[in-house]
């Protein structure tokens, strides 16, 4: 098993594997029911890290930079607060591979990329419905709260991990 940075553009097979994992992880990650919409997310992503085993993706993270035309309200929110950043749009792990340290390994790559480029890592986590495991995970990874937002269907907390943190 290994953590890889995917070259762009990912293959159709890789996109379909990630899309399937995304849909398995609802509501922890947003529903992207149409494959074409998921392809757009991949297209907007500056960095894509995956965990592969036997040449099959078991987990992934999509990260975007500032200045993107991404329409997400969460992305727009962090764009107003920070001029430069690496935004974790979503991380998803196949259920049978959860609680095995994979997310931490993937995030280590994201954090390293942020440090190498002097970029804070930004993300959001649902507080309604409550995603307690993700909140605990991000606290363990030294993320700090930078804001909140309430939407009709959910609420989120925005988190930041400064690139200067060791």
pLDDT class of 166 with cuts at 50, 70, 90: low
Judge if pTM exceeds 0.85: yes
Q: DSSP string spanning 85-106? A: -EEEEEEEE-GGGTTSSHHHHH
Distance of CA 116 to the CA centre of its chain: 18
The owner of tokens 């959001």 is 124
pLDDT reported for residue 87: 98
pLDDT class of 104 with cuts at 50, 70, 90: very high
pLDDT reported for residue 63: 96
- Reply yes or no on whether the pLDDT at 31 is more than 80: yes
- By the 8 A CB rule, do 21 and 98 touch? no
pLDDT class of 1 with cuts at 50, 70, 90: low
Closest by Cα among 72, 76, 1, 8 to 45: 8
For residues 4 and 162, what is the distance between their CA atoms, to the nearest angstrom? 23
């Amino acid at each position: 098993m290994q953590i890889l940075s995917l070259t762009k553009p990912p293959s159709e097979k890789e996109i379909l594997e990630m899309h399937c994992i995304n849909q398995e992880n609802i509501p922890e990650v947003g529903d992207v029911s149409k494959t074409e919409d998921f392809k757009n997310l991949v297209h907007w992503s500056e960095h894509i890290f995956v965990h592969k085993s036997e040449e099959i993706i078991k987990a992934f993270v999509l990260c975007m930079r500032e200045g993107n035309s991404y329409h997400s309200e969460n992305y727009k929110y962090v764009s107003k607060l920070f001029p430069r950043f690496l935004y974790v749009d979503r991380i998803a792990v196949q259920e049978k591979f959860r609680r095995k340290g994979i997310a931490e390994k993937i995030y280590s790559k994201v954090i390293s990329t942020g440090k190498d480029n002097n970029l804070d890592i930004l993300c959001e986590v649902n507080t309604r419905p409550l995603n307690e495991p993700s909140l605990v995970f991000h606290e363990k990874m030294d993320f700090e709260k930078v804001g909140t937002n309430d939407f009709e269907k959910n609420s989120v907390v925005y988190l930041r991990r400064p690139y200067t943190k060791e």
